[in-house]
Amino acid sequence: MQESILILAGGGPAPGINTVIGTVSKVFLKAGYRVIGLHQGYKTLFGEDTDFQEIDFKQADNIYKTGGSFLQMSRYKPKDEEFNTRFFVQNNVKLLLTIGGDDTASTANRISRFLIRNEVDVKNIHVPKTIDNDLPLPEGQPTFGYHSAKEEGVRLAQTVYEDARTSGNWFIVSAMGREAGHLAFGIGAACHYPMIIIPEMFNKTKITIGKIIRLVISAMIKRRILGISYGAAIISEGVFHFLPDEEILNTGITFTFDEHGHPELGNVSKAHIFNVLVQQKLQELNIAVKSRPVELGYELRCVRPNGFDLMYCNLLGIGVKKLFDAGYSGCMVTSDPAGDIYPLFLKDVADEKGKVKPRLVNINSQKAQMVYEWNTQYIEPGDYEAARRYVANPEEYDFQKILNW
């Protein structure tokens, strides 16, 4: 029976998934393998009616440059008791190739160990993807999809900034990112946003909603002092990962709740939450500034990959074949800035419980420090006298004091 490889994509989409699928398919088809694409992630893999299709060269060539995912994705996480060898044996699968984040990769490892125990030889190699750029790859290596998503985010954020100038208003922008602020920081810095708020900047003080609101208003007052009535602030959704439920509920925003009683943040715009709270504080201070919310998230995930990600994902796809031929399994494929391929094993980046820690923005790096020192605008001691025209206690809106920097 012809040997085959099985490809699946888990989690949420990121630009470049189809580039990886197309490249891997072409390379393995050329080597004589049958290529099987699995829809819905792991959801139907162990059932009687597995949702799959064969991928031929023409199909691989057509999807290579497109956004989204040719293979339907899913966040489904099978339990160990669901595992069986049926599909792998019936289709003579020699490689399980997964595209996704750490959950998708760790599930593939569990499946691989199960197959080994049942004497079915299937290697597993993972291609790490996320627009959040928060997987712990070696320094200087982005996760694929990040640059394309950031580029689209910059395009939208620049348009928003131009709207702010045109209308004389402010915009409160929220960006995806899970626990990390890479996307918000990258977009905000590229667009010269007056205020960029990410969870990593609270490295010397506890994150609170009050501090976030004061940082935004600090930028608004500073811009007024500079004679500018408009602006934009971008806030990473990651700040919510560090806020207790009680503080979130005390905002007065209406939430739905999950089965554990936690507010379902995915059902409400984070930009809306912060815009409402900023407006409430501005009214309390009697500062006449209009602001509007803009959410940047789902608009970024399925754009066409840019030139960087097209080349990067091409290298990762070819790299899968290189690692497979070298006998590697249970690893992620990585490509350094020179384009050289290396394996990265989950055990080397996971904690003692097997959880992969997210890669956060290095707030102490020169890049971050320069952006916050020179690109952003906020109240400093030299602004106190002018700021008293707007607030009685300008020191409470001092950027350095808020963050305890």
The phi, psi pair for 37, rounded to 5°, reads: -100, 130
307: Cβ contacts below 8 Å, ≥ 6 apart: none
First-to-last alpha carbon distance for the chain, in angstroms, is 65
DSSP assignment of 72-102 equals PPB-----GGG--SHHHHHTTEEEEEEEESH
Distance between CA atoms of residues 147 and 261, nearest Å:
36
Calculate the alpha carbon distances from 224 to 127, 128, 215, 219 in Å: 47, 44, 14, 9
Which stretches of 64-177 are DSSP H helices? Answer: 86-90, 102-117, 146-167
CA distance 242 to 289: 28
Q: Active-site residue among 49, 56, 80, 132?
A: 132
Give catalytic status of residue 132 as yes or no. Answer: yes
CB under 8 A, 24+ apart: contacts of 241-245: 241/178, 241/179, 241/199, 242/179, 242/199, 242/202, 242/207, 243/207, 243/208, 243/209
- Angstrom distances, CA of residue 191 to CA of 229, 255, 284: 17, 32, 30
For 183-242, list the strands marked E by DSSP: 195-197, 231-236
Tallying the residues shown for the chain, one arrives at 405
Residues linked to residue 184 through DSSP beta bridges, in sequence order: none
Please, how many CA atoms are within 13 Å of residue 403, restricted to the half-sphere of its CB? Answer: 20
Residues linked to residue 173 through DSSP beta bridges, in sequence order: 234, 294
Three-state DSSP class for residue 305: coil
DSSP code of residue 364: T
Q: Which residues form the catalytic set?
A: 132
